Amino acid sequence: MFAGRGVGMDVVQTEVRALGGHLTIQSEPGRGLFFSMFFPITTGLTQVVLFRVGDLIFGAPRATLLQVLQQPAAPDRPSATKLQLQGHGEVDLFWGGDLLEGPDPAPLETRHPETIAVFGSPGSVVALRVTEVLGDREMAVKDLGPQLSKLPALVTVSPLPTGDLVLIYDPLALAQAYGKAAHRRQLARTAQDPYGPAQPQAAGSGYITVLVVDDSITVRRVTQRLLTRAGMHVVLANNGLDALNKMKTLRPDLILSDIEMPHMDGFDLARAVRADPHTADIPFIIISSRVGEKHRGIALALGVNDYLGKPYSEDVLLGVVRTYFPDRALA
């Protein structure tokens, strides 16, 4: 029996042509059909080294990696910001998670020998402590879009075999853009306990700490770039639960949050923040594409201080942020 009118394949061909590609079909009696789709794409292959810091995976161009060192875990290294390297002298040393606003390092007693990746270019060398080197990969890469291309140090994005995307960074540019904030985070974490988690930071310290909560990595990084450029320290979280976990060891001066996120949305996060007497007074700003009166009303009832729509104007966001810190100097 035969069924269908072939409409499905007509739809496929229309979509393929809309992308500038073409579809071919080959039929072999007794064996079936063979479909081929061809698309013009602006991609290339490059050698990338993948690293893991905690549960975060990132990549770096293979050409930037000078060497990988294995050293026994040492009590003084979590607070060290310099490393003496033969042939290079004293270079900046970072925990990779601090540069990427990722996880803190594991406590000393749970660490294996530490791995330090050294990156360099003419006239510049930097060292990153990482959890693990995952190895070299030849990866397909594509030019960044207009939003991601504005992020300092981000080279490209590439898919993993699992289908997840991995961000490829230039570690030298990463250290230049976020090095000062990374060392501040590192020193704050080790001020009282060099082996344990970060210690809570009180509002009113020398710089403004902003917690940005959004499930879009693009939004997180664009917002981070804007606020960092204005002289603020930015901590990133990808949903409400992640934000609450960060706030166990950090008291931000300000929270910027999306509404629709997995695991815990922005409204539930606002409820949790306002219900805790230790965080109830933290200014809370919603930034969402949901700009109707219904969502604004819910936010107001929860004690949210301000509500901005997406896409937002950079000047408007900075202006709102400045209203909460009239006595603090901002760029």
For the domain made up of 43-173, give the CATH fold.
Answer: SH3 type barrels. (2.30.30)
Sequence spans of domains, the chain: 43-173, 200-323
Residue 215 has pLDDT above 80, yes or no: yes
Find the range with the poorest average confidence among 10-14, 64-68, 95-99: 10-14
Report pLDDT digits (tens) over 89-110.
Answer: 899 999 998 888 777 776 654 5
pLDDT at 92: 93
> Same CATH topology for 43-173 and 200-323?
no
Residues 6 or more apart in contact with residue 60 via CB below 8 angstroms: 48, 49, 51, 117, 119, 168, 169, 170, 171
Report pLDDT digits (tens) over 128-175.
Answer: 999 899 999 888 776 666 666 677 788 888 877 777 788 899 999 999
User: What tokens appear for 251 in the block?
Assistant: 């008291």
The rounded percent of the chain whose pLDDT value lies above 70 is 81
Confidence of residue 281 (pLDDT cuts 50, 70, 90): very high
CATH 3.40.50.2300 fits 200-323, yes or no: yes
Give the integer Cα–Cα distance in Å for 75 and 131. 16
Work out the mean pLDDT of the chain and round it to a whole number. Answer: 81
User: What tokens appear for 200 in the block?
Assistant: 């809570």
Confidence of residue 280 (pLDDT cuts 50, 70, 90): very high
Confidence of residue 219 (pLDDT cuts 50, 70, 90): confident
